[in-house]
Structure 1
Amino acid sequence: MVSHGAAIYTMMFLFAFTFAYAGDIVHHDDVAPTRPGCENNFVLVKVPTYVDGVENSEYVGVGARFGPTLESKEKRASHTRVVLADPPDCCSKPKNKLTSEIILVHRGKCSFTTKANIAEDAGASAIIIINNQTELFKMVCEDNETDVNIGIPAVMLPQDAGINLEKHIRNYSIVSIQLYSPHRPLVDVAEVFLWLMAVGTILCASYWSAWTAREAAIEQEKLLKDASDEYVSTENVGSSGYVEISTASAILFVLFASCFLVMLYELMSYWFVEILVVLFCIGGVEGLQTCLVALLSCFRWSQDAAQTFVKIPFFGAVPYLALAVTPFCIVFAVVWAVYRRVSYAWIGQDILGITLIITVLQIVRIPNLKVGTVLLSCAFLYDICWVFVSKWWFHESVMIVVARGDKSGEDGIPMLLKIPRLFDPWGGYSIIGFGDILLPGLLVAFSLRYDWLAKKNLRAGYFVWAMTAYGLGLFVTYVALNLMDGHGQPALLYIVPFTLGTFISLGVKRGELKILWSRGEPKRACPHIEDDQQLLNH
């Protein structure tokens, strides 16, 4: 039931998101000035609160460029009472006497380092500065400041969190807090499962694509042997059931995906994300239905339903089996959309996403290595541009901002595979864009189709090498992700050189690059010629 035009648009829709992300907790900012005494990284800080000895809310702040580093272990972070500054801005010596309490002050009227120095001189053990906005702000040292050897930690809280703390204190409650910044684990099990999901998705899609290609080739040979005129119709894309990408369309994909990404960035809002959710559900229903029909068709009890068709307006001939599973697919997508904010909704999102990717990889194909090289090379530049280079134009990474759903009030967009970081004290999700699976998957699926048509075994073929190269490229992506403290990485920056480089190198070594580059399939003799040759030999 998937139309070929829809497959093209779906591919462009999925292609726009190609990066891996784990949520950064350490912020390296080359713009913010650094010098001795003012050279800390900007780290997120956990601030659990206790009101009258009872555990209350936990807030997240950001550490300053100056001051000592915070404790990383919760059990080592002391419970310290919080008091209000008087005056509130702490730009002059506090009127209240401090004995190692944490002082809560408001932003404004003087520099951050001035506030910290005054608080330290007054006997505070730390200073918490309430921002005048709901966002966090990076506290730096001014260029003309000299007294930056500050001995107490400084943390900024967003306005709403600071006001809540202030209300508790003004109600004569005893408020105490902990300040600590836990380190993210070197490797989280979520990244392992995400790697397995990506590799498994390409593996399933490649075998399905190769199987259908082999069945089509066998059917063509039968038609040729029978000298049937139907062979002409098998060359038609519409009847063969798949769409081949051309070199021009490969370039256009990147251009359209760039425009689509910028449009998302500029128009990002709650309602725009809702539209994306609807589109994702439509594609997810189609993908889930296609995969379920293919899976159930393998069983004898459902083969009759899979091979019996009924005509439906606008859809044409539809198998009874597809009609049977469609209601389930629709209900599945709707339930996910309604409950997508619950903690376990990622399972439904991943199921819909994986089946959609597999379906697109089954329908959309690259005909040869030339098209694959153009597509992946353009995607390579696209990924670098919108993750890294876009910071120069938009002052932030467009790809990461769109994927996180900033300015929309939503927890990211749905066109991602994600798994919760189970052993990460900061929580969150490890995610990977659909494009990081779909685009290399086109090349990997092409390699297996070629191997099967050329009747190559696994060792002599290209598929095992392409699949291994993809797995290694994705592995290196996650290594880079952890080395960069969770900063979003353009996954295709690592995956494309591995997969494309391996494929081209093998083609050159085996002397098959010319065939791979232009034809994309091995030469096959006409069955009539083979039969005549056999008769002559006898």
Structure 2
Amino acid sequence: MAFSKTILRLFAVLLLFLIICLSSDGASHDDDSAPKSASCNNKFQLVKVKNWVDGIEGESIVGLSASFGASLPSHADKALRLPAVFANPLNCCASSSSKLSNSIALSMRGDCAFTAKAQVANSGGAAGLLVINDKEDLYKMICSENDTSLDITIPVVMIPKSGGEAINESMAAGGNVELLLYSPKHPVVDFSEIFLWLMAVGTIVCASLWSEFIACEQNDERYDELTPKGMHACIVTLILRICRNCGQKTLNLPFLGEVSILSIGVLLSCVAFAVFWAANQHASYAWIGQDVLGICLMITVLQMARLPNIKVASTLLCCAFVYDIFWVFISPLIFHESVMIAN
């Protein structure tokens, strides 16, 4: 019990420290290294780009505002929903032959300065400019040292390559694409980050205390549990901890011998849960199933893992380091998209 109280106290202290660290606006920030002037001192802010194709709303795109130009509203109901038009030429480095008035202009990155693109779109009557990056990351659009007297009255936003390609495909197919730009305010304390931290630390604490549940189980079982681990092992252990007699009924199965009916029922439920998650993994609520599966797996791994000496621990840390390097830097070369970027 003393060990449990110590862990809970440490958990509370770390939570307080996390809240203090997160008490800052992470959606907007400044760049001290960028040239400053009266017309080029905006903070970089994350921008939500909502889009509609023939009146049907599509998946929103996340962009980054420039250090120059007009500011965006913080609420969607205060922003204008305008048609999207590609500049001609696409780089928007010269006067566009496309009609840009009362629309959101789109241009490709490159061939001239960001401020030059913005001035062309501004002079053409566009209500805003989206610069499509040639990569998936978002580049900070800053002014040059010579841009001291800019007169740009429209918002300028950079969007990732995939977002620009999606808009281009819709327009190439003849669809009427409309865009709406706004920059939602970031809360002082991001509760989503606190929730993620609670899940991570809670998983470790739960795995550390899990032996108390397992120690209470009877070891004189007359049957063998099914071999699957992870979610199956966690649920069976919890049920047997609450109701020890629930696993008394057994069933003879070919190749498996005598197994618990409880174990079979839990296994079927876990398979159904995993199949449901796999079939709906792109839904907005899919993160719940993914986190449940991940937490159960990590509890099982932490129960099974044994670190007899520092060599084993160092080897595991090196493997984890290589694992991170692969998914962050190498996976985009294989899958043509970084799996570390949330859609």
TM bracket, shorter-chain basis: 0.5 to 0.7
Q: CA deviation at 1:305?
A: 5.0
Q: Partner residue of 2:243?
A: 299
Distance, in Å, in 1 between the alignment partners of 2:115 and 2:107 is 13
Distance 1:197 1:120, change over 3 A: closer
Structure 1 residue 113 displacement after superposition:
1.0
Matches within 5 A, 1:129-278: 129-132=131-134, 136-143=138-145, 145-148=147-150, 150-157=152-159, 158=161, 159-164=164-169, 166-167=171-172, 176-187=178-189, 190=192, 194=196, 197-198=199-200, 201-202=203-204, 204-210=206-212
Hey, what's the Cα distance between the residues in 2 that align with 1:133 and 1:358? 37
For the pair 1:350 / 2:285, whether they are aligned, the reply is: no
Kindly report which structure 2 residues correspond to 1:277-356, keeping only aligned pairs within 5 A, or say none. Answer: 285-297=228-240, 298-304=242-248, 320=260, 324=264, 327-328=267-268, 331-332=271-272, 335=275, 338-339=278-279, 341-343=281-283, 344-356=285-297
Equivalence for 1:33 = 34
In structure 2, the gaps of 5 or more residues are: 1-21, 220-226
1:117 deviation in Å?
A: 1.9
Q: Is residue 87–residue 100 contact of structure 2 (8 Å, CA) maintained in 1?
A: no
- Write the distance in 2 (CA, Å) between the matches of 1:412 and 1:184: 22
Distance in 1, Cα, partners of 2:253 & 2:213? 26
Instruction: Give the direction of change, closer, same or farther, for the CA distance of 1:123–1:363 in structure 2 (3 Å limit).
Output: closer
What residue identity is the alignment partner of 1:67? G
Q: Deviations over 1:40-61 (max 9, x none)?
A: 4443322334567x35434443
1:114 CA displacement: 1.1
| Cα-Cα RMSD | 5.1
Q: Which whole-Å CA distance do the structure 2 matches of 1:40 and 1:295 have between them?
A: 54
The 5-angstrom pairing of residues 332-481 of structure 1 reads 332=272, 335=275, 338-339=278-279, 341-343=281-283, 344-364=285-305, 402=328, 408=335
- How far residue 74 of structure 1 moved from its aligned partner, in angstroms, is 0.6
Contact 1:336 1:345 in 2 (8 A): no
Question: Structure 1 residue aligned with 2:118, among 104, 116, 119?
Answer: 116
Q: Report % sequence identity.
A: 36
Question: Judging changes above 3 Å, is the alpha-carbon distance between structure 1 residues 198 and 311 closer, same or farther for their aligned structure 2 residues?
Answer: farther
Q: Which amino acid aligns with 1:346?
A: W
The residue type equivalent to 1:35 in the other structure is: K
Are the aligned partners of 2:88 and 2:98 in contact in 1 as well (CA < 8 Å)? yes
Please say if residues 328 and 338 of structure 2, whose CA atoms lie closer than 8 Å, have aligned partners that are also in contact: no
Q: Cα distance, 1:77 vs. partner?
A: 0.9
- Between the aligned partners of 2:239 and 2:216, the Cα distance in structure 1 is 20
From the superposition, tell whether residues 164 and 399 of structure 1 become closer, same or farther in structure 2 (CA, over 3 Å): same
**CA distance in 1 between partners of 2:103 and 2:248 (Å):** 77
User: Is the alpha carbon distance of 1:166 and 1:128 closer, same or farther for their aligned partners in structure 2, counting shifts above 3 Å?
Assistant: farther
What's the CA shift for 1:199?
Answer: 5.9
Contact between 2:49 and 2:61, CA under 8 Å: does it hold in 1? yes
Assess if the C-alpha contact under 8 Å between 2:40 and 2:143 holds in 1: yes
TM-score (norm 1): 0.43
Shift of 1:75: 1.0
Residue number among 84, 104, 107 corresponding to 1:105 in the alignment: 107
**Shift, 1:341, TM fit:** 1.8
- Deviation of the 1:144 alpha carbon: 5.2
Asked if structure 1 preserves the Cα contact closer than 8 Å seen for 2:63 and 2:138, the reply is yes
User: Aligned partners of 1:27 and 1:406: how far apart in 2?
Assistant: 27
1:177 alignment partner AA = L
CA deviation string 1:362-398 (max 9, x = no partner):
445789xxx8xx89x989xx79x97xxx9xxxxxxx5
What is the number of equivalent residue pairs in this alignment? 300
Tell me the residue number matched to 1:64: 66
Secondary structure of the residue aligned to 1:179 is strand
TM-score (norm 2): 0.61
Residue identity matched to 1:160: E
- 8 Å contact kept, 1:104–1:127: yes
SS in structure 2 at match of 1:114: helix
Structure 1 counterpart of 2:222: none
Q: Which protein has the bigger helix share? A: 1
Superposed CA deviations along residues 476-515 of structure 1, whole A, max 9, x for unmatched, are xxxxxxxxxxxxxxxxxxxxxxxxxxxxxxxxxxxxxxxx
One-letter identity of the residue aligned with 2:143:
C
